[in-house]
Structure 1
């Protein structure tokens, strides 16, 4: 049996985190969602030497303190974290934001729907994709 997909959501908006929790609870796929409220909290969690690394990180762009772009840059600069797929999950559909995300090596970019049913469909497709694209365990990739 394959282990549940581990997802880390980084979003400063408590309502968006609650909506994501609700969407993940409705999924049929085995999945574990962990949420943090800031880029700083995400990096602190992920840089801990005993952290269980997520299979994918869902990252908001517009956050106080560290923006999603700054978090993405910091993640990609870390040998232990740089290979983890990062999907920008944001309300911004601006071309400049999309271009910047891919320039910083985001794995994907998804503009969140304001409609919960559509958002749930987006999450289902996202999880379906990443569940099929991951390795059984990221520790196989780490040599540092």
Structure 2
């Protein structure tokens, strides 16, 4: 194995042979069962709701997973719970388009900077209000002209 890209693996204490990378960026860990994933997601959501500081990092260290993965599990549980327990009334499609109407109106008619558009949209709790989202959307619209 000398000279290969995995020659440095001897220095790492990989306890399970199935944890050795095989060309994939991520390996599904069989020790993280669906119950454990649900537990991690629930604890992360609870911590977020209670404002508990450091719980995400604690969970990531406890289960040896990335914080990004913890957030992904929490977001998946949150979205699923809204589908299962939330209002089943579907919103009209026009509601999903409103943020884009606000972006264009504020930018073109109001002659606001992208930062000002973002601030106004955040003030009124309009989704997609980040500067990056607004800039990306406006660039897309501009490319269509």
Same fold (TM over 0.5): no
Q: Which has the higher strand share?
A: 1
Q: Which has the higher helix share?
A: 2
- Greater relative contact order: 1 or 2 (C-alpha under 8 angstroms, separation 6 or more)? 1
Higher CA-based Rg: 2
**Structure-2-length-normalised TM-score:** 0.19
